[in-house]
């Protein structure tokens, strides 16, 4: 069954790969991100492959912008079926670097952005009596390493919020957390601390493609309506 799937942070990495994967699965994808030039190129790729896509400028830290993203999709298509809360940032650093501005950015995008997506989509899902929330968290939600304290804190919060959503909602609305390990993405490019940048560069020498995460999302979405895949942890076989 074709679904209307909204994806935040769709301009690169996991969001980009998920858009292509879900479009190949026959779903209509609604792409949200700040870099609209990249969204336009991605939508072109989807259409060239025979799929369908809409694009929307999206800053997940802006609650009204997120509400407009969701409401516009409902207005155009009459419904929404899936919201992939994927947008996230990860400028890792040690706490004694005191990069408080970057800490606040992670809190705003990784936690408030998720909450904004839930607040925008949940009334529509409840009205329709169906829907599927997918949160892209991280292995960092389950473990902390030096430099990851704030990032892991935000991703644990994302995990906890999503699990809370699952236990609170009627079973007609499914909820899935995807926790990737080291994966092809631009997230390392946001690191400004020189020592952390070098540490992460060597750490990321063995990674998995973003489509591996997209395939996990596709699997969760594709299950029968009475099957709720609650969490998938997916990482390179070499990652411990």
The residues assigned a catalytic role are: 151
Residues in the chain: 240
Dihedral sign computed on CA atoms, order 68, 138, 235, 190:
positive
Q: What single-letter DSSP state applies at residue 183?
A: B
Per residue in 137-161, is it b (16+ CB within 10 Å) or e — as a string?
bbbbbeeeeebbbbbbbbbbbbbeb
Instruction: Name the nearest CA neighbour of 133 among 145, 117, 146, 144.
Output: 117
What is the rounded radius of gyration, in angstroms, for the C-alpha atoms of the chain? 17
């400004």: which residue's tokens?
Answer: 192
Cα 188 to Cα 184: distance, rounded to the nearest angstrom = 9
Q: What single-letter DSSP state applies at residue 190?
A: G
């Amino acid at each position: 069954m074709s679904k209307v799937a909204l994806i935040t942070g769709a301009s690169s990495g996991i969001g980009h790969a998920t858009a292509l994967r879900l479009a190949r699965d026959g779903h209509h994808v609604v792409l949200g991100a700040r870099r609209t030039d990249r969204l336009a190129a991605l939508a072109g790729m989807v259409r060239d492959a025979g799929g369908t896509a809409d694009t929307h400028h999206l800053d997940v830290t802006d609650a009204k912008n997120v509400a407009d993203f969701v409401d516009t999709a409902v207005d155009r298509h009459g419904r929404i079926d899936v919201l992939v809360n994927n947008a996230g940032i990860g400028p890792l650093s040690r706490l004694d670097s005191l990069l408080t501005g970057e800490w606040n950015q992670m809190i705003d995008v990784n936690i408030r952005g998720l909450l904004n997506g839930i607040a925008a989509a949940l009334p529509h899902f409840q009205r329709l009596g169906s829907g599927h929330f997918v949160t892209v968290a991280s292995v960092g939600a389950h473990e902390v390493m030096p430099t990851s304290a704030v990032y892991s804190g935000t991703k644990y919060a994302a995990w906890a919020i999503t699990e809370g959503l699952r236990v609170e909602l009627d079973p007609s609305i499914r909820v899935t957390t995807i926790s990737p390990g080291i994966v092809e993405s631009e997230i390392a490019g946001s690191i400004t601390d020189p020592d952390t940048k070098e540490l992460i560069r060597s750490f990321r020498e063995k990674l998995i493609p973003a489509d591996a995460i997209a395939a996990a999302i596709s699997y969760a979405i594709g299950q029968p309506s009475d099957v709720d895949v609650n969490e998938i942890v997916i990482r390179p076989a070499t990652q411990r």
